[in-house]
Structure 1
Amino acid sequence: MYMMREVFRAERGKAPEIVAAFKTLTAAFEEAGYTNRRIYVDYAGPMDTVVCQWEFDSLDQYFTMERGFFVSPDENVQSLIKTFNSYAATGDKEIYEVIQ
């Protein structure tokens, strides 16, 4: 099992837009079989930080969905990309193997 964490630092005051964009992925994440999905926002540390975290069974599962997501992006995916590109100052992707 693996855990993915995407960390975005939004432009000042734009974290709610990043959160809303992540929420639009709920159905796609459930359909892909991802589990334990969570969205976090900063409480301390760098302001306007949004973290989306989820688990999946295999790296192949993740990369197949990820590649398919951007092959022919529909209107919703294009809107999602535009939101991240417009409101995120930085972004990082972390993948961990779940040990316990």
Structure 2
Amino acid sequence: MMREVFQAERGKAPEIVAAFKTLTSVFEEAGYTNLRIYVDYAGPMDTVVCQWEFDSLDQYFAMERQAFVNPDENTQAMIDAMNNNAKSGYKEIYEVIQ
């Protein structure tokens, strides 16, 4: 399971959420499942978390590399939204046990 956590600039979380929403169909086509987008309820304000599952890390890294080689319009919009609206971000990778 992959989780990407972004700390948005103050008041910019909606832009990051909107960017993730543009990739929903791309993630589904890639075979990713259980896509969820979360925003903060407690803790640091303007935090956005996008979480999904996939079959293998190789599958994920192949798609990510391809996306950055020649990004389509939606992917480029997401990249721009992250670069323009996020202060920081990181990834968490988990093995799903149950």
On whether the aligned pair clears a TM of 0.5, the verdict is yes
Shorter-chain TM band: over 0.9
Identity value in percent: 81
Q: Which runs of 5+ in 2 are unaligned?
A: none
Q: TM-score, normalised by structure 2?
A: 0.96
Classify the secondary structure of the residue corresponding to 1:89: strand
Q: After TM superposition, which residue ranges in structure 1, 4 or more long, deviate above 6 angstroms?
A: none
Q: Work out the number of aligned pairs and report it.
A: 98
Matched, 1:37 2:39: no
Task: Choose the corresponding residue for 2:60, options 56, 59, 62.
Answer: 62
Whose strand proportion is higher, 1 or 2?
1
For 1:44-83, what per-residue CA distance to the aligned partner results, in whole angstroms no more than 9, with x for missing partners? 0000000000000111111111111111112322221111
CA distance in 2, matches of 1:77, 1:37: 17
Identify which of 25, 28, 35 aligns with 2:26.
28
**Structure 1 unaligned runs (5+)?**
none
SS in 2 for 1:61: helix
Say what the alpha-carbon RMSD is for the aligned residues: 0.8
- The 1-side partners of 2:72 and 2:96 are apart by 32
Task: Report if the CA contact (8 A) 2:23-2:74 is conserved.
Answer: no
